[in-house]
Structure 1
Amino acid sequence: MSKNIIIIIIIIIIICCFDLQINGRLILNHNLSMCSISWMYLSLFLHHIFFQFQRNAYTNVFHHILNAHEEENILQSIAWPTTPSITSNLNVKNTSDPSCSMYTILPKVGGGHWYIGDQLEVSIIIKDYNCHPKTSGGDFLVASLKNKDLQAGVSGHVVDHLNGSYTAVFTLVWEGQAQVEVILVHPSEAVTVLQRQNKKHFDRVYFKGTFRSGSVTETTVCNVCLRPTAQPVCNYTDARTGEPWFCLKPKNLSCDTRIEHSRGGYSHSIGTQEYNLFKHNLNMNVPIWSSGSSIITVHQKNELTVKNTSVKFKPSGFYIKGVWQSHGNYKFHQFDNASIVQCLKGKVIHMYGDSTIRQWFGYLNNAMPDLKEFNLHASEKTSPFMSLDYKNNILVTFRCHGPPIRIRTIPISELRYIANELDTIRGGSNTVVALSVWAHFGNFPIQIYIRRLMSIRSAVMRLLTRAPETLVVIRSGNLQCAAFPVTLTNSDWYSLQCDKALRAVFKDMNVRLVDAWEMVLAHHLPPQLHPQPPIIKNMVDVLLSYTCPQKRE
């Protein structure tokens, strides 16, 4: 059977499954509403085929976003170790207990002093509440080295040996004392719950669409996909990117009367005993203590120091005196208000994404005295925002990404997909594009997030093709140590999965990364969804260092 015949059959099936309204919106028959995660994946595939057919006129412009082989490779690269199954008679005493667990600093291979550039290894043993060693992996641990007096810090890499033991690996990067910190973010059993939540309860964060015509106003539930209902469904899948979005059709209004998008609320579906897996200061975001000393002394290298050729982990950077230093080829430097203006003179900076990059927009507004925000009558936490410095010919903009975005209220006219916005940018050597898309995708299956990233990546590729000198900077996700019940939708485990996917999707592309994950983990300030001002300053300094690079001496 030829490809054309297959496509025709699929289109016929779609036409049979959907009622077409005059306005062109697709309304799902309620008997065929999406009712499970498997139907969601099938639906997304059908939508992709349908809109690919619609986009035939754009064949030379738009690329296939979904690549099954590439997606599978990404999923394999971020795969989490198998975690224990959870039953209704869960016994919490058999789960991971940070108070019984411990870590040990392993002696240096070959003995002798620790030197800058050495690799430090720390053995971590996880035990249950009976202080019995666990025999399986899957716990979510993070590790760092810090010296608060030096305002120094660096992140470590945790290796899961799948038997209840782990190894944290660090690169030693400063002279003086370094203290090991190991945190149990989630026991493996909690990860099981988080995984199940995304597979079966992806709509535990729900959204609302407001419809209005004349004096009639209605509000309905919206999401990436919807469960069975007697109501028909309005399909707002984006024709250019194929990004899916649906709202229940209002009873008395048509689909084309939607005027606003807003966050609806949250619903949580976990068992009574499962709540005990998310106890702050008990088994969530809790430090694991050392069986001996937690501090080592690091010495400066000398001419006789043997170079360490066995490097298991290399961080992207580290803090010294509170300043983020690159561990790679770039030299990050600090910018004061005057040097920020000098760097950005004659440039356009477009920021797209969530509120974690909106912080950068606010920082630049406060740092540049002649940069004045132009009132576009957007609310404080929505968008678009625009600031101008006429004297120095500087333009800075921010726009939030499209749904799913948990935002109070935003007009539909201002709800844009980043990929579409990137296609409107001319680009060039005077253009900087900064992206941050992660914080609103945690409650969905990771495939939804990967698809969004691949859509954005395609737009970035088109931008760099027509304007290769454009600088594209991507901000990664970061730890936030959210408390319960926020962690059920914004868990750091979700953020880590998104972070790994982001790095995999944009690997080997001509883009720059602001490693927010390491910058937050390595800092002495506690992690937050919106990092505190000293960390934001360092992030913006990295952005500006990419914009106005200085060669290493």
Structure 2
Amino acid sequence: MMACFYIIGFFRSCVSEYCISAWGLHYLEHITQMLNQIEIRCGEIFNTISNNISSVPFRHLNLTTSAKMSRAKILSYRQQYCNGDSLTVRVDMFNYLGQRKTYGGDFLTARIYSTDLGAAASGRVEDFNNGSYNIHFILSWVGNVKISVILYHPSEGVSALWRARNAGYKNIIFTGNFLYKTQEIEKVCGFYLESQQEKCVYADKRDGEFFYCIKPPNVPCEALISMRSKIHHHSYLTKSEKTIFTKSNIGVEIPRDPGSIAVTNCQRNFTDMKPTCRIGMPVPYPSGYFLNNLWHSNFCNLSSFEPLSQINECLTGKLIYLMGDSTLRQWIEYFQKHMKSLKFFNLPGHGIHKRYLALDMDRNIYIQWKKHGHPFVSPGIYSVKDCAYIAREIDGLPGSPNTIIVITLGQHFRGFPLRLFIRRLLSVRKAIERIFQRSPETKIFIKVENSREINTDVERISDFHGYIQYLLFKDLFKRLNVGIIDAWEMTQAFASYNLHPPETVTRNQINMFLSYIC
């Protein structure tokens, strides 16, 4: 069960009543009961999320929220603010006809920043569900502070995206490569295949994970060796709904009055007694801010200089397993770039998505990056023989005080129904609980996904999908003894708008990570 795929030979070949023994019946009943429990839990979580998302029908573009017609103003405006003050910005929404909106559900992002100071922070959005919003900021540095409020999608767009995302699996096409003797054959694969042809079923029955490929004639299913994917030019959005997502309507700034404020050091007599950063601490929002391009935590005493300066000593004797997508691969690339004695071991594999292994023989440091299991979306070919679902990867580790696991999931799931992501998070959570039973001192971190480019391919990669996944990740893991690296908030504050954030952001993610373990 440690491989990326497990063939359900029983379900494919046992078609007669004589094939099903008493043990087989009991086993099938157990599996069925377990899968039913998973689906019930997935359904409960999905329904909770769905009930909190806008369900506004689209009638005409002119009736949707217009960023340019809407207004943002500072509540209780003053000529001068003090470092440490709270700031609230009121946003009132109007449609393209200048009519006030009477319902909420718009997808807004907000930040304050001072470019010259390398300073920035995100804002917390409060939706009153009547067309008005309050955005709450903490003023954490001295100087001129600019305010930015962006309407990413109107509520009508949010409703359309939510319905479209959960309509099916046709956004991405997978192609599997089978190698058998001298034959090399490509076949369509995916989470759901409408074809009536014989299929290979690759499954993790325990966690309810199923993936399929059309079976090549006279070729065993085990012959599948690699995979690639491409965007399917298919849409679950209606033609009229697509008008909401033209480039000029995505990520538009809302006019502000005023657009900036002055913050001074009022020399208040208070001492900021934040505790030392510890794994398991609850992470508020906003959880921190940039100043001089260094991330400062709002909830724990993060030294912005010490952890990175002691990185070699901090990681000595550690076994570090990075499990996820290419935004976490950036970590191992950063480690190797800045730890001179850390060397990559050249492993075989396909392209940049192969397993990465870095070793420091003098300090006994082991760092590995492996991609997560399906779905892994890439036009480049990647091996399916060297990967596994994260839950299985965790199950394969004994754990120890020197074992560190960092997990990230999200970007590759955006183009698929949310139930798939919910199911995966539940299986990862259970695997974490199991390793804590074996080794409570194992250190586990969740690096939530980051924001990315503003792109018109909203059905597959919109940050709205990422934001829902971000909230879900934080909620499902908040009661576990894990460390949270809030990459979403960092990239929102930094306004990187890049699938692979710049090194400044990666450096601060790693600095936060080191502050927990050094």
The TM-score, its normalising length taken from structure 1, stands at 0.82
CA distance in 2, matches of 1:122, 1:114: 14
The aligned residue for residue 276 of structure 2 is none
Residue 399 (structure 1) shift: 0.4
What SS class does the counterpart of residue 452 from structure 2 fall into? coil
CA distance in 2, matches of 1:171, 1:363: 31
The letter of the residue matching 1:26 is R
The aligned residue for residue 40 of structure 1 is none
Q: How does 1:204-243 map to 2 (within 5 A)?
A: 204-226=171-193, 228-243=194-209
In structure 2, do the counterparts of structure 1 residues 470 and 132 end up closer, same or farther at CA, with 3 Å as the change threshold?
same
The aligned residue for residue 433 of structure 1 is 405
Residue 106 (structure 1) shift: 0.8
Q: Are residues 1:520 and 2:485 paired?
A: no
Q: 2:64 aligns with which of 95, 102, 105?
A: 95
Residue 300 (structure 1) shift: 2.9
What SS class does the counterpart of residue 350 from structure 1 fall into? strand
Q: 1:454 aligns with which of 426, 445, 451?
A: 426
Q: Are residues 1:536 and 2:506 paired?
A: yes
The aligned residue for residue 221 of structure 2 is 255
Is the contact between residue 28 and residue 233 of structure 1 (CA under 8 Å) also seen in structure 2?
no
Residue 163 (structure 1) shift: 1.8
Residue 119 (structure 1) shift: 2.1
Q: How does 1:242-321 map to 2 (within 5 A)?
A: 242-269=208-235, 270-280=237-247, 282-290=248-256, 292-303=257-268, 314-321=285-292
In structure 2, do the counterparts of structure 1 residues 463 and 71 end up closer, same or farther at CA, with 3 Å as the change threshold?
farther
Q: Are residues 1:53 and 2:35 paired?
A: no
Q: 1:375 aligns with which of 329, 341, 346?
A: 346
The aligned residue for residue 73 of structure 2 is 104
The aligned residue for residue 192 of structure 1 is 159
The aligned residue for residue 19 of structure 2 is none
CA distance in 2, matches of 1:338, 1:155: 27
Q: Deviations over 1:457-503 (max 9, x none)?
A: 11111112211111111111121133112x22011000001111101
The letter of the residue matching 2:30 is F
CA distance in 1, matches of 2:88, 2:41: 36
Question: Identity, % of aligned pairs?
Answer: 31
In structure 2, do the counterparts of structure 1 residues 257 and 379 end up closer, same or farther at CA, with 3 Å as the change threshold?
closer
Is the contact between residue 354 and residue 383 of structure 2 (CA under 8 Å) also seen in structure 1?
no
Q: 1:390 aligns with which of 339, 351, 361?
A: 361
The aligned residue for residue 498 of structure 1 is 469
In structure 2, do the counterparts of structure 1 residues 233 and 320 end up closer, same or farther at CA, with 3 Å as the change threshold?
same
Q: 2:481 aligns with which of 510, 522, 525?
A: 510
In structure 2, do the counterparts of structure 1 residues 516 and 64 end up closer, same or farther at CA, with 3 Å as the change threshold?
farther
What SS class does the counterpart of residue 376 from structure 1 fall into? coil
CA distance in 2, matches of 1:51, 1:147: 61
What SS class does the counterpart of residue 53 from structure 1 fall into? helix
Residue 369 (structure 1) shift: 0.9
Is the contact between residue 117 and residue 291 of structure 2 (CA under 8 Å) also seen in structure 1?
yes
Is the contact between residue 423 and residue 462 of structure 1 (CA under 8 Å) also seen in structure 2?
yes
The letter of the residue matching 1:387 is A
Is the contact between residue 378 and residue 385 of structure 1 (CA under 8 Å) also seen in structure 2?
no
Is the contact between residue 261 and residue 411 of structure 1 (CA under 8 Å) also seen in structure 2?
yes
CA distance in 1, matches of 2:132, 2:8: 61
What SS class does the counterpart of residue 397 from structure 2 fall into? coil
Residue 73 (structure 1) shift: 5.0
The letter of the residue matching 2:241 is E
Worse overlay, 242-251 or 402-411: 242-251
What SS class does the counterpart of residue 131 from structure 1 fall into? coil
Is the contact between residue 64 and residue 156 of structure 2 (CA under 8 Å) also seen in structure 1?
yes
CA distance in 2, matches of 1:77, 1:271: 23
The aligned residue for residue 105 of structure 2 is 138
Is the contact between residue 372 and residue 388 of structure 1 (CA under 8 Å) also seen in structure 2?
yes
What SS class does the counterpart of residue 352 from structure 2 fall into? coil
Worse overlay, 506-515 or 269-278: 269-278
Q: 1:323 aligns with which of 291, 294, 314?
A: 294
What SS class does the counterpart of residue 202 from structure 1 fall into? coil
Residue 91 (structure 1) shift: 2.3
Q: 2:375 aligns with which of 397, 404, 414?
A: 404
What SS class does the counterpart of residue 377 from structure 1 fall into? coil
CA distance in 2, matches of 1:455, 1:51: 20
The aligned residue for residue 8 of structure 1 is none
The aligned residue for residue 476 of structure 1 is 448
The letter of the residue matching 2:12 is L
Residue 28 (structure 1) shift: 12
Residue 366 (structure 1) shift: 0.7
Q: 1:464 aligns with which of 425, 436, 442?
A: 436
Q: Deviations over 1:198-255 (max 9, x none)?
A: 22233211212222322333322222222x3221322111144331111222344343
What SS class does the counterpart of residue 85 from structure 1 fall into? coil
The aligned residue for residue 352 of structure 1 is 323
The letter of the residue matching 1:152 is A
The letter of the residue matching 1:297 is A
The letter of the residue matching 2:71 is M
The letter of the residue matching 1:419 is A
Residue 24 (structure 1) shift: 3.7
Worse overlay, 449-458 or 437-446: 437-446
The aligned residue for residue 35 of structure 1 is none
Worse overlay, 191-200 or 527-536: 191-200
Which blocks of at least 5 consecutive residues in structure 1 are unaligned?
1-20, 30-48, 57-61, 308-312, 549-553
Is the contact between residue 97 and residue 129 of structure 1 (CA under 8 Å) also seen in structure 2?
yes
What SS class does the counterpart of residue 99 from structure 1 fall into? strand
In structure 2, do the counterparts of structure 1 residues 267 and 92 end up closer, same or farther at CA, with 3 Å as the change threshold?
same
What SS class does the counterpart of residue 103 from structure 2 fall into? coil
Worse overlay, 463-472 or 405-414: 405-414
The aligned residue for residue 26 of structure 1 is 12
The letter of the residue matching 2:183 is V
Residue 135 (structure 1) shift: 1.9
CA distance in 1, matches of 2:286, 2:111: 11
The aligned residue for residue 43 of structure 1 is none
Moved over 6 A (4+): 49-52, 62-65
What SS class does the counterpart of residue 340 from structure 2 fall into? coil
In structure 2, do the counterparts of structure 1 residues 469 and 262 end up closer, same or farther at CA, with 3 Å as the change threshold?
same
Residue 518 (structure 1) shift: 0.8
Is the contact between residue 140 and residue 493 of structure 1 (CA under 8 Å) also seen in structure 2?
yes
The letter of the residue matching 1:99 is K
Which blocks of at least 5 consecutive residues in structure 2 are unaligned?
1-6, 16-25, 273-283
Is the contact between residue 65 and residue 455 of structure 1 (CA under 8 Å) also seen in structure 2?
no
Residue 79 (structure 1) shift: 4.5
The letter of the residue matching 1:259 is I
In structure 2, do the counterparts of structure 1 residues 435 and 22 end up closer, same or farther at CA, with 3 Å as the change threshold?
closer
What SS class does the counterpart of residue 244 from structure 1 fall into? strand
Residue 54 (structure 1) shift: 5.2
Residue 81 (structure 1) shift: 3.4
Is the contact between residue 25 and residue 236 of structure 1 (CA under 8 Å) also seen in structure 2?
no
Is the contact between residue 35 and residue 208 of structure 2 (CA under 8 Å) also seen in structure 1?
no
Is the contact between residue 349 and residue 395 of structure 1 (CA under 8 Å) also seen in structure 2?
yes
